[in-house]
Structure 1
Amino acid sequence: MKVVGLISGGKDSIFNLHLCKYLGHDVVCVANLHPPITPPLTHEDTGDEMDSYMYQTVGHEVVPVVAEALGVPLYKQVETNDLVYHHETGRDDEDEVEDLYDLLVTVKRAHPEVNAVSCGAIFSDYQRLRVENVCQRLGLMVLAFMWRLPQDRLLNWMIDTGIEARLVKVACMGLDERHLGQTLSQLKPYFTKLHNQFGFHVCGEGGEYETLTTDCPLYINGRIELGDTRVVKHSADVYYLQSSNPHLEPKNDAITTDWKKACKSLSVLDGLEYYEQDYPRLEDEHEHFTMQAPVSTQCYENTASHQHAATACLRTSSTTSVAMSNSIDVLSVPPTTTLEPSCEITNMDVIQQCRYVLEYITATLAPSSEYEILYVEVQVSDMSSFAAVNEEYCKHFPAVNPPTRYCIQTDLPQGILIRFRILAIPSAQAVVNTLHVQSISTWAMSCIGPYSQAKRFDNGGLLMTAGVLGLIPHTMSLPTTGWQYELWLAMRSLHKITNLMSSEYTVLATLFIAGRTPLIPAVQLAAKYLNVDPSSIMGLRLPALPKGASVEVSLINTAHSTDAAINVSVYVGESVEYLLDGLAPSNGALSQCTPSLIYYDVTRYEELDIYDQLPTDIRNSTAMIPVREACIGTARHSLVMFRNDIRYC
């Protein structure tokens, strides 16, 4: 990618540029927001340092020299706005983030080839969310490779890579003006001591200190000398260093100019070693076993009666606060809707069908109505349409706190090119926490599109994750070493997500597989990663998954096993009659009209035949997913009905 680096001159922004370059990205230019320039100060003046949760402003007078050392153009802008960001809307014209927007617009005009932004965020959601918001509006990717790296490991990485960063601001107990100008390598033992004494953040993520990078492998034109400096007292116990004549000095000839050699500590990112150290890969007893995927099956012919087999609706049972829809597609949307298509339904392409159905959903069930949508299931008849569908999908869901989502290819009935199922909660009852990380990092698979990694609702009770692929996080590409590696990486991402959301107890996992991946061995290996019995995992074989992946995993989790009572009634069998035997009115199942989900083996059943055998109440509250193979744990089944009832303790 062609990258603009957001820099303050500090260790974080400069080290992330090293990671960008090492991973093959091209740093085209750098950009900086700085405070208004003030006249020369006396020793007692507080100077032009601004307190910002978003940017480091101390040392801004050295930034032009940093750009000179890097050998790339610098774009600067005065920071004029304040902290008035509204998370619900994602923007405010008077927020400091709008200064960043204007700065990046200037960069894009000068360098239209730029398509990514380097961001030095480590743990600050405040900073990450705002950079992501601006970049999403400008169509730019965010590269934040240090996001949520352990601070002790990151500090060692910086020092080992040759980052010479000096303290230019101190603002905590244990640090004072005597420490200004000292390097990270000099202070590392002292930082460790402070951490052991009172939880000092060794990378300064608690605002303990700020730095200026005076030398590093990326400085190709020399190292930075600060020249004449003076200490400024900003406030009680807060001091910073100001330089009046920073300049470049030639580097020692003995210092290597070999990039790879200088950054050899980053070689752990060349393969999967970093992720192995972080989340060990488990061996599978079927390590070398694969199977030939079933051949494509013939879908049934659509009939007029199928158009009204089930009308799109959102239902809850009498014992749950969560509402689930049945299958919503062009043939289930009520024909009386005012959102008539511009052409006959049978002639609509996948984008027209997608638009038609999503307009119905957003008009009747969207967050603007009485429900907040938490989760969206997308089935497509052909995964090659995924990019176009995703583009249309973006227009109908919010960029801020969007629902979680998974997308799968299924053998949909003829005439249906796309189908949705949604899960929602009444807006009046909604207590929802959202995790949506769009930045590319080493942390976990990013969600660049309009969907979140996870939603946790009901005061922290239940967590639902998006469908997660086994992508290498920092490249967002699939490994070439087989389905076992994909499953491992998917589970690693899910581990990071559920850990961050404090919901690590898995109640139910859905494992989608495609290609030559063996179903039962994949379920067994997934159970080992999740530390659950295989019966907690639903395994489903499908024709295809996004990006040509072999596996995709979605979880329902809680913080503890006692947090929520999730009653998932499962009925399996070889016929609809057998399934219905378990739904006798005597147990109250029918009267509750609990939303149901039926997975059926498309090689053995036709959807219309199943619908025709279902009682009306069940038919109108049932979603259908055609699969090519299904199992619960290690037991294969050709017909499975889930009736979900979520109750909170």
Structure 2
Amino acid sequence: MNPDLQVIGLISGGKDSFFSLLHCQANGHRIIALANLYPPPPPDPTTTDNDDDLESFMYQTVGHSLIPLYADIISLPLYRQEIRGTAVNRAKEYSTALTNDGDGTLSSATVFEEGHGDDETESMTTLLQRIMAEHPEANAVCAGAILSSYQRTRVESVARRLRLVPLAYLWQYPELPTPGGPREGGLLEDMAAVGMDARIVKVASGGLEEGLLWENVCAEATRMRVARAMKRFGGSVLGEGGEFETVVVGGPAGFFKGGIEVGVEERKVVRGGGGEASLSFTGGRSVQRKGSRADDAGWLDKVRIPNRLDEAFEELLETLDHEGNHMPALGLRRTVENSRSVQCTWVDKYHICTGRWTTHISNLAASHVKDSTQAQMEDIMRILGALLEHEVHRSPADIVFTTILLRSMDDFQAVNQTYAELFGTRPNPPARVTVACGDMLPLEVNVMVSVVVALGPDVARQHLHVQSVSYWAPANIGPYSQATSVRLEPDDDEAPAVVYVAGQIPLVPSSIEVVTRTRPSEESQSEQDRASFRLQTTLALQHLWRIGKAIDVAWWVGALAFVVAGEDDIKDKASIAALAWRKIHIPEIDGKSIEGSTPTDDTGFDVWNERCTEGRSTLTTGHKNKVLPDSSCLSVVPDDGGKTMNGHSVVPPFFTIEVAQLPRSSQIEWQGLGVSRAAVSFFEPIQEHGNSITACSMVSNEKIFGFIGIGVSSMEDQVYNQIDAAISRLLQRCRIPGTAEGHRTIYTPLEIDMNRLRAQVIPCRSVWNIQGEELSAALVVEYEREVDR
């Protein structure tokens, strides 16, 4: 990402939009213009109602008459536009439902001509287009979304169509670790620290009395009054659910050149139903700041940038550093001989496996492999479309997870562009993992694709697709979501779900750059490289954790770490990845809880979204899981068939897979499969003919989803029968009657007999188990079925 973005600031007058602008400047970006949307004049000018308050689902409008004063006190051009339409589309994920016109943009004229202009969101599109015409250097837009997915997804939709980078630095900010630890006043105290003066102009929640109007919510006394009311009556201390609204009348001298004054006689209280009250303004003026300007730039030092790692992951990194430094540099290579032939025989044998809730389409390659990589991808997309339509009877919108294998990461952009066309303007493309296998792919095959297709209705799926740059986790601006959840019971909002999480690489969320680590200069290059790998391992794993918690994952049923290594450090890297996976599943590391920092405010409940979706269940709900892993959902099944509870020693199936390249030249990419709202059975590892077998299963109302990880010690001919026998034994331990044929994925550097083991194939350079031992192959089996009683 360009470190010096030219930003258009969306402002409502409220505290969040302005505080987000301060974070833009703290991250080195330049604010070039302000944008505001205001309500149209009332049909009846003589009405006694508050014409300031449009009660929009998307925009704050109370106090809009004061907005023009910001042009004077901030010295930035201000552009305003009337809000057209209402909240026609009240879903959390917003889409125009229009076909992409080829260059990735939609003009506002097209939107209104097609009849979609009735939605109030599209007023933002035309306003931003007008600003971009005046400021062609503009390449980003900033919004103050903190917890509301409803608002964030709409800004992202407009930004994506206009090719602007969406910035939402405050997204999930109350939950992020900050220097010095959490403050009692949370984000409001952070605002006070930089000198913001945000006056309450509307109260709409029990306990927030009319007497709070025009009080500075950043002031300690007012913060305490609001906090007490929210504790007693429920709601957000930040006002994220519409409990109160604010207008900023002043701030740090380096950003605000003055302030706004409104006399008592210029403020009129307008009372509504249920104790709601707001202010309507008949006047107001800007005043220039007096006194010394010596502190103009000092406010930047008071903007607290969240720590890169949560406390628990800082502790994990310290553990990896300590134990990793004691691992000898083994210089080891290949205990498993690579016997892959130059020409593989399985390339043209795509595989379809249909279960109870999903269908896997695996190993898709182009019909004409001598074509360019982009042409191969176009052919694969054509084949996939035909299979979806005629074999699976579903559409691309039903794909929930994709695996893309490349020969070289140099082809990533070309493949990505073709892949994106499959989903058009849909707001939630599937989660995805992309790795480069190098020469392990069959001869002349430059790209292969496998997909997971959900068979249930769309209502049974939930998506996490954050495209805004923030401090939380890497934005997914490309055609993939962070995660997709598939419920086992489509009609039950509380039913267990399987969660597919996209591959996570070690990007710094606020810059979208791969993390680097500065170490003492006296260290050797190899020592610095090992230290950097440990940091990358930790940060990417934290991304997996944050995403999992955001989409309510309670337990990982299995995970992979794809790594890039040289001839002399693969065992090192495999050992570090395995160590990280083991340690993160210990409930406490030196007394620190692994669930991370305690939220200062958020209950996980998106009030805006609940209000706008009329009570329908959404991704962010009141029971959002705050602990991961959550051992309370777990039972452990020993090999003797008994049942025990031993969450402190349970580590889900895990393998390290060595590949040729990863996106953005990363050294590690984590991929996890999780479950939510589930009772999980963990089956203690067993040995079958030298093969280590670990499994988890989730059962709900006689519906079973299972995950088996098999570390294959040898790919001798008899291993195929051994694998089938081992799976049968494990299913018996799971008390699953009959057979449960499942989808199989094999990770191996060796040639395999596809006629004997029909599976998705990930050809790789090496495979390692959780003990840091090299394997001939790793086999992952996912099974799903209804039990006949």
* Bin of the TM-score, shorter chain as denominator length: 0.7 to 0.9
What's the secondary structure of 1:178's corresponding residue? Answer: helix
Letter in 2 for 1:157: D
1:78 to 76, 82, 91: 82
Deviation per residue, 1:344-388 (Å, 9 max, x gap): x24311111111101221332279942621110011111122122
User: In the alignment, which of 414, 419, 426 is matched to residue 393 of structure 1?
Assistant: 419
Partner Cα separation in structure 2 for residue 279 and residue 245 of structure 1: 52
User: Which residue of structure 2 lines up, in the alignment, with residue 9 of structure 1?
Assistant: 13
Q: Secondary structure at the match of 1:202?
A: coil
Deviates more, 1:582-591 or 1:407-416: 582-591
Residue 442 of structure 1 deviates from its aligned partner by 1.4
* Alignment correspondent of 2:39: 35
Partner in structure 1 of residue 528 of structure 2: none
User: Residue 309 of structure 2 aligns to a residue in which SS?
Assistant: helix
**One-letter amino acid of the structure 2 residue matched with residue 568 of structure 1:** I
Question: 1-side partners of 2:389 and 2:333: how far apart?
Answer: 38
Letter in 2 for 1:524: L
Match of 1:108 in 2: 132
Percent same amino acid at aligned positions?
27
Counterpart-to-counterpart distance in 1, 2:332 and 2:127? 51
- TM-score if structure 2 supplies the norm length? 0.73
- Name the SS of the counterpart of 1:464 in structure 2: strand
The letter for the 2-side match of 1:402 is: P
- Measured in 1, the distance between the counterparts of 2:720 and 2:581 equals 31
Contact persistence 1:597–1:642 (CA under 8 A) = yes
Aligned residue runs from structure 1 range 130-169, under 5 A: 130-150=154-174, 152-169=185-202
The corresponding residue for 1:302 is 343
CA distance in 2, matches of 1:28, 1:294: 55
- Aligned residue for 1:409? 436
Counterpart of 1:335? none
> Aligned partner of 1:633: which letter?
I
2:165 touches 2:468 (CA, 8 Å); kept in 1?
Answer: yes
Tell me the equivalent position of 1:342: none
Q: Could you say what secondary structure the match of 2:324 adopts?
A: coil
Describe how 1:412-491 pairs up with structure 2 within 5 A. 412-428=441-457, 431-457=460-486, 458=488, 459-481=495-517, 482-491=532-541
Distance 1:223 1:647 in 2: 64
How far residue 567 of structure 1 moved from its aligned partner, in angstroms, is 3.9
Contact 1:122 1:149 in 2 (8 A): yes
Give the length in aligned residue pairs: 615
Q: Distance in 2 between matches of 1:89 and 1:205?
A: 19
User: 1:207, 1:101 → 2: CA distance?
Assistant: 24
Q: CA deviation at 1:192?
A: 2.0
Q: 1:36, 1:48 within 8 Å by CA — same for their partners in 2? A: no
1:483 and 1:413 map into 2 onto residues whose CA distance is 30
Moved more, 588-597 or 152-161: 588-597
Distance 2:244 2:551 in 1: 28
**1:529 paired to 2:584:** yes
- Distance change >3 Å, CA 177–CA 428, structure 1 → 2: closer
- Cα distance in 2, alignment partners of residues 38 and 67 from structure 1: 25
Tell me what 1:242 maps to. 280
2-structure distance, mates of 1:50, 1:242: 12
Is the 1:299–1:413 contact (alpha carbons within 8 Å) kept by the matching residues of 2? no
Change beyond 3 A, Cα 1:540–1:585: closer
Q: Deviations over 1:368-424 (max 9, x none)?
A: 942621110011111122122212211112532211101111131221111111111
The structure-2 alpha-carbon separation of the partners of 1:316 and 1:346, relative to structure 1 and needing over 3 Å to count, comes to closer
Structure 1 residues 43-442: aligned runs within 5 Å: 44-85=48-89, 87=91, 90-91=95-96, 92-150=116-174, 152-184=185-217, 185=219, 186-217=221-252, 218-227=254-263, 228-236=265-273, 237-254=275-292, 256-259=294-297, 261-269=298-306, 273=307, 275-277=309-311, 279-282=313-316, 283-284=319-320, 285-288=322-325, 300-302=341-343, 308=348, 310=349, 312-317=350-355, 320-331=356-367, 345-365=368-388, 369-370=393-394, 372-398=398-424, 399-411=426-438, 412-428=441-457, 431-442=460-471
How many angstroms apart in 2 are the aligned matches of 1:89 and 1:149? 23
Deviation at 1:109, TM superposition (A): 1.4
**Secondary structure at the counterpart of residue 547 of structure 1:** helix
1:246-268 deviation per Cα after TM superposition (whole angstroms, max 9, x unaligned): 22212131465332x21323254
Deviation at 1:474, TM superposition (A): 1.4
Does the Cα contact within 8 Å between 1:155 and 1:203 map onto a contact in 2?
Answer: yes
Shift in CA distance, 429/579, structure 1 to aligned 2, threshold 3 Å: farther
Query: Match of 2:120, as an amino acid?
Result: E
What is residue 646 of structure 1 aligned with on the other side?
A: 784
Q: Quick one: distance in 2 between partners of 1:29 and 1:298? A: 61
Q: Counterpart of 1:624? A: 761
Deviation at 1:592, TM superposition (A): 6.4
Q: For residues 429 and 9 of structure 1, do their structure 2 counterparts lie closer, same or farther at Cα, with a shift above 3 Å needed?
A: closer
Q: Write the deviation string for residues 34-86 of structure 1: whole angstroms up to 9, x where unpaired.
A: 00135997794322320112111011111111132221111111002101116
**Which of 699, 720, 730 pairs up with 1:580?**
720
User: How far, CA to CA, are the matches of 1:587 and 1:526 in structure 2?
Assistant: 24
Q: Which runs of 5+ in 2 are unaligned?
A: 97-115, 176-184, 489-494, 518-531, 587-648, 681-697, 700-704, 732-737
Q: Per the alignment, do residues 67 and 275 of structure 1 end up closer, same or farther by CA in structure 2, a change over 3 Å counting? A: farther
Q: Amino acid of the residue matched to residue 360 of structure 2?
A: M
The separation in 2 between residues aligned to 1:397 and 1:313, in whole angstroms, is 22
Greater shift, 169-178 or 412-421, is seen at 169-178
- Whole-angstrom CA distance in 1 between matches of 2:268 and 2:312: 41
Q: State TM-score, norm by structure 1.
A: 0.88
Q: Does 1:510 align with 2:534?
A: no
Q: What do the CA deviations read for 1:198-237 (whole angstroms, capped 9, x no partner)?
A: 2242111121111111111254431221245222315222
Please, what is the CA RMSD of the aligned residues? 2.9
